[in-house]
A and B are shown apart, each in its own frame.
Chain A
Amino acid sequence: MELRINRRALVGLGLAAAVAASSLAVLRTDSGIASSHREAPMIAGDPQHDNTDVYAFVSPDKADTVTLLANWIPFEEPQGGPNFYPFATRSRYNIKIDNDGDARPDITYEWTFRNEDKRGTTTFLYNNGPVTSLDDPNLLFRQRYTLRKITPGGTRTLVGDGIVAPSNVGPASMPDYGTLRAQSLRSLPGGGKVFAGQSDEAFFLDLRVFDLLYGGNLSEVGQDTAKGYNVNTVAIQVPAKELALKGDVRRNPVIGICSTTDKFNGSRYVQVSRLCNPLVNEVVSPAGLKDAFNALPPEKDADVAPLVKRVTDPEVARLLEAVYGIKAPATPRNDLVEIFLTGIAKQNGPIKADLNSQVLNKDAGKLRPSEMLRLNMAVPPAKDPNRLGVLAGDLQGFPNGRRLSDDVVDIALQAVAGAALTGKLVPGLTDKVDGNDKPFLQSFPYIPLPSNVAVNRR
């Protein structure tokens, strides 16, 4: 096709290049943007509401308490200024407990956040000098939180003026970050503790292991793809009796745990994110169901046939067989139904153990299957925790709750391959990442301090 453009006229306008660039595309029947058509982003990135991990475990240094911990904002690059990584201020960050097995929350711990911004219009910097304490005037931006406990009996404010441990700005600005973390911890009435702030991305994994679903292969894995990044954490430690049905841990030791995030849409709060068991998207919820899963409360899970089917006939198992010759167990996979939907108990299915289903609670009613992380609070802390948890005979580990050191990727792969049925581990089935790069702490909140070194400098 010949185009007769008066090039000289264009050059005179100094625009020849610009036209050429945008017009080449036009030749491929592309229209530009017409004035009639207002365009908006399709889906905006929203990491503040992206719930990445949930942990629940009997506290190793205080066996009569339980620690609940949830993370948001994946892949925080240290030194990500100037605004770093605040929590959203018009949202609710929740950890929900179901202790009677009806899939509805009996206790909700709800964090809401607000900004204290002293930067004015003169600077956009987070701090204007070294920050040596949470009250340091050099710290120009910080967040406060309110923690509420919501039960059918009503709502109580546990903390009205908590301070969020700030994003770690770097060694010059925050020479002793440990002090800031320590100052941010709050005690709760009745003997608990609470924390909100930045921490190390403690999840160690090679995400690429799940690329099996798209034709990837296990030979490529072996690096911790979350290493060096930070996350935002909320954590609470409370006496186990506070969580147990009727306050009786002996009779009712099992609780179910989910974390959700609610966002305000101008007229009401809607749930935009949900996480209970780790890796549920990779192993259980097929890609097309992810949106539904994030919006659904657990009490609706049992009605979503595709979700249940995905548990009873998981694609990952068939892929492991096709790619690696690891024989997939016969379907329906009632062992996985136990692990993900009902909890493990002899009366629930083929796994011969009474471990972590609410049916084991003597005062519980009828169990409604739902995807949640389930913890038996009566199992004492392991002296020598095994990263493979229950599958390796360490009953304090995932899928009985989840500790920071549990290797959930390997456990999930092994479980899908049938290890919970056979009692035998499948050799070689691993993402080859067995631990976090930073050691976990000995006391609450256990999760390591945030890094302050850029990821690509490590």
Chain B
Amino acid sequence: MRSLAVLAGLALLGAMAFTIFSFSAAPSEAPVAQAAPAAETLQERLRRLPGDHRGWAELASQYVDQARITGDPSYYTKAEGAIATAAKLRAGDDAVLTGQAALAAGRHEFADAVRLAERAVSVNPYGAAAYGVLADARTQLGDLRGARRAVDRMMDLRPGVAAFARASYAAELRGDLAGARKYLEMAEDDAWSPADVAYARYYLGELALHSGDLATAADWYAKALQAYPAYPPALAGQARTAALSGRLTEALTLYDTVVERLPLPQYLIEQGETRIKAGQAPDWTLLRAQRKLFQAAGVRDDLTWAEFEADHGDPASAVEHARAEYARNPNLVAADALAWALFKAGRPADALPYAKKATATGWRNPLLTYHRARIEQALGRPVKVDAGFDPTLPALARFS
């Protein structure tokens, strides 16, 4: 089916010097677009046709995707403007509901995301995108079975990068490493846009990294950068591989580039740990600044701070954050964060049930395994702590 969205998405990757407010006002007598619609961006189309509610919803979804690709959260604000316009035009439309769900998920409002995605699905049972949001949000809320149902439906409707990536993650969380790899390979084979190719290759790298195969991981990160140069996650992956291989100078040089492009807390913590490993003092200045900004803005990202405080700060504060996160999003990662925070606060007995929860599905995540082993050790149980795991670089094992 002929659709302009494919190109609009690519066009969006170009200049983004555009604000949503520029035409939420009544359009003046705009000149007829001279560009052929094939080359017309979604933004140009909406300038010409401000009544196209599905166009607005599509634009919002594209912005959410840009936030994912670039890591720049200001796209969420743009998405909000676009989806508000769409909702004013046609509130119950499935594309509008799906856009709203995607935005909520992007902002970690997972319960809202589930509610909105379920509404979208009831309006349009064939909408693959809504099932994708549903799968993501249910995963975050710890409902792995519900997430799998959504993924299966997505796989039956529109097998492709979006569905394969989610099927891979679901398999990984079940401990099915071969399945996780198979689906990512399918995603890589299927990917068409450079960003999608890079995405699939990056996660193939992550999968290799977490199973201890650094050479394969490095290879995938390099291939991801071939497809989409300057893709920050793949750069971070290269930094991780270097650090875990003991090439600390190279890793720190890479981290400098990564955080200059994208100073996400996750990358800043990895950089700090690598510095400690290299015998330097970590500089948490930027991280604390980011954190203050997040708090001032009322953003809830307790997970990052639970993990950070447990490893590098105040365990009591870590427990507080971890409890708050687990109350909202009782997923495997949150359970692990709470277990580790309690352990660091000197309460291994309280920690154990959460460590068990975190490892209950068979997910083979070296960090989770290590945390549980340390907790069991402290309780005097006979366990083997993985000698291959580097406890000085926990953040590098944490991602995704």
Contacts and interface: CB of A to CB of B under 8 A. Distances in A.
A305 interface: no
A223 B155 contact: no
Given A26-B293, A36-B333, A75 B7 contact: yes
Interface string B290-306: 10111011111101100
B77 A214 contact: no
B299 A29 contact: yes
A229 B400 CA distance: 40
Interface stretch (A13-21, A321-329, A371-379): A13-21
A38 B400 contact: yes
B282 interface: no
B388 to A, nearest CB: 21
B268 to A, nearest CB: 10
A330 interface: no
Interface of B is mostly: helix
A50 B7 CA distance: 13
A223 B35 CA distance: 10
Interface size class of B (residues with CB under 8 A): 35 or more
A35 interface: yes
Nearest to B156: A270
A449 interface: no
B343 interface: no
Contact of B73 (A22, A41, A45): A22
A89 to B, nearest CB: 8
Interface in B126-175: 126-129, 132-133, 136, 139-140, 155-167, 169
Nearest to A18: B263
A215 interface: yes
B162 A41 contact: yes
Given A42-B61, A290-B1, A21 B72 contact: yes
A34 to B, nearest CB: 5
A295 interface: yes
Given A3-B296, A21-B72, A264-B159, A32 B260 contact: no
Given A42-B64, A44-B196, A288-B94, A15 B48 contact: no
A455 B35 CA distance: 11
Given A44-B160, A265-B155, A292-B126, A34 B293 contact: no
Given A50-B3, A52-B2, A287-B95, A42 B159 contact: no
Interface residues of A, number: 79
A52 B74 CA distance: 35
B192 interface: yes
A21 B261 CA distance: 10
Given A266-B159, A294-B1, A214 B68 contact: no
B293 A51 contact: no
22 contacts: A21-B74, A22-B72, A23-B289, A25-B77, A26-B299, A29-B299, A30-B74, A31-B108, A31-B299, A32-B73, A33-B73, A35-B266, A35-B395, A36-B329, A45-B6, A47-B192, A74-B38, A211-B49, A214-B51, A266-B167, A292-B125, A295-B126
